[in-house]
Structures are given as structure tokens and as C-alpha cells.
Amino acid sequence: MDRRQWLALAGAAMWMGSARAQSAPNLNLVVPVPPGGSVDLTARLLGEHLPRVLKQNVVIENKPGASGSIAAAGVARQAGDANTLMLVFDSHVTNPLVYPNLPYTLKDFTPISQVVHVPNMLVVNNDVPVKNVAELIALMKKNPGKYTFASSGNGTSQHLSGELFKGMAGVDMQHIPYKGSPPALQDVVGGQVTMTFDNITTAWPLAKAGKLRALAVTTAKRSTVAPDVPTLAEAGLPGFEVGSWQGVFAPAGTPPEIVRRLNAEIVKILNLPDVREKLGGLGAEIVADSPEEFAALVRGEVVKWADVVKKSGARVD
């Protein structure tokens, strides 16, 4: 048995509640975005309940940058560490497609559970003279290259939603990446950027408050929190379907018994009435699946987005 295996087993024993449970180290939940966005909100909810079920303090670590790849690189180096988790979003799958020299691969992580699926919402600055998607497309075609769209980072579903929109609508607009959703939305509200395809959990409250104009959602069905907002397919782009998701990963080499316990406890937390109410009220659909189901989602996402990245040329050198 090498040193890494020994450390993993030692961590497992501590995690599963040994006689020294009271002195267990903190569980670090790494969040690859700044505070305030939808991913951070989900992490805070998990961080609120995990200490009770795991009998262990949970520390939320916000490590934004490079669409989550900075945080992921750090977690990848913690192979076998039973006290490190990361709440990721869809860019975790697409980063290896758009960043050619990442110091890790998806094999460096162990799926625990998909947590939620979240529609993206197309919102524009209030000064943009359009009321619907058809008018927006017409305006962009008259002014190629003039308009911009913000995202929470290269390779995110917000970014690739914009690339897919460009291709399907036949328009030319510039991508402006940010380190997370809050600064991206802030600049759309302020008029520095024309539009964004942000998570409905953070975009819709701003639209309801009159700070942005909601034109469409990116999923196949309308959102229950914004039933009057059409889908992009309804608005003139049939076949357009994109959603964002969030899920929990552990470093590769995490003992299977810990993976199972983590999955079971996270699923329980996600089914608590107050958690379901808070996430559902934000427009998020709770998933809470198994490690195997989550792994299957990741494989499918890689295939889906590889084609979009290839056609759009959305790479970061």
C-alpha cells in the first residue's frame, strides 16, 4: 500500500465517523465562481445542511477564474482527499474543449451527484430598442459586429448559448467573458454589454425588477417561474435547447464508500422541503441523481458540446 492509498483510507475512516470524529478536519467545498451567483447560492444551501449530516465543519471556498478551471486544477491535485468537494457547473465539461492546455482531465474527478438543472434566460439591456427575439435578430443583422453578449466565462453554457444563437440566427456579435455571473449581469444592466444568456435564478429577479428585459428562455419548455417568457424555439429558433446544470464532484481516488455516503446525504438534503422551496422558487429543477447517472450526463455533454465548439471555433488560447 503506497502513501496515497494509506492517506485515502485514513481519510475514509475519519469521514465515516470513527472514534475521533469530533476532531475531524474541515470539509472544503470549493465553488468556482464569486459569491452571489446561482452556483454560489446552491453551495450555500448545501453548506448550511452538510455539517449536520456529516458531523463536520464545512468551509465554502470561492475560487473564480477561467470558467472554473482554476478551482478545478486545485481540486484535481487533491487526489484521494476525502475532505475536498467541488460544486461545478456545466463549464466543467466544456473547459477541456475550449482550453487546450489544462493541467487536468475529467478523469481527475469522481462524480457524486447532479444537483440542479437551470434554464438560461436571454436578457437585454433596457436601452436596446427591441421587445422580442425577432426584433433583436433584425437589429443585429442591420448592425453586424456592433452588439455584444456577456457570459460567466469561456466555455460556460452562457457562452455556448450565445455561440449557438449566433449560428442559428445568422448574426455577428462579440463575446465578453467575465469571472462569474454577477459582474456579467452588472455590466448588462449598466449598458456596457448588450445582452447575456444567464441562469434564470439570477437573471429573472433583475428582469422582474425592471433592470433588464427578458426575451426568452433557452430550454425546450417555458419556466414555471416565468411562464409568460417564451422559449427561443417559440421565438423563432426551432430546435434551440440549452440548459445549465450544477453538480458535486470529489477528487479522483475518493473511496467508494465515501462517494456513496456523500451521494445519499446530498440527495436527502436536496429533498428537504425548505431546500426544494428555495431552489424551486429560483427556477432551478432539482435532480439529485446517482453517481452513475451523473457520470452518464457528463459523457453526453462532452459529445453535445464538442460539436458546437468545433463549429463555432470557441477556443481559448
Task: Give 197's pLDDT tier (boundaries 50, 70, 90).
Answer: very high
What percent of the chain lies above the pLDDT cut of 90? 67
pLDDT at residue 155 above 90? Answer: no
Average pLDDT over every residue of 253-275: 95
Provide the CATH number for the domain formed by 118-217 in this structure. Answer: 3.40.190.10
* Residues 83-102 pLDDT 10s: 999 999 988 999 999 888 89
Average pLDDT over every residue of 203-230: 95
> To which CATH superfamily is domain 3-117+245-312 assigned?
Bordetella uptake gene, domain 1 (3.40.190.150)
* Residues 23-70 pLDDT 10s: 568 999 999 988 987 889 899 999 999 999 999 999 999 999 888 899
Q: Where do the structural domains in the chain lie, given as residue ranges? A: 3-117+245-312, 118-217
Q: What is the value of pTM for the model shown?
A: 0.77
Are 3-117+245-312 and 118-217 the same fold in CATH?
A: yes
Q: For 294, phi and psi rounded to 5 degrees?
A: -65, -40
* Residues 131-152 pLDDT 10s: 999 999 999 999 999 999 999 8
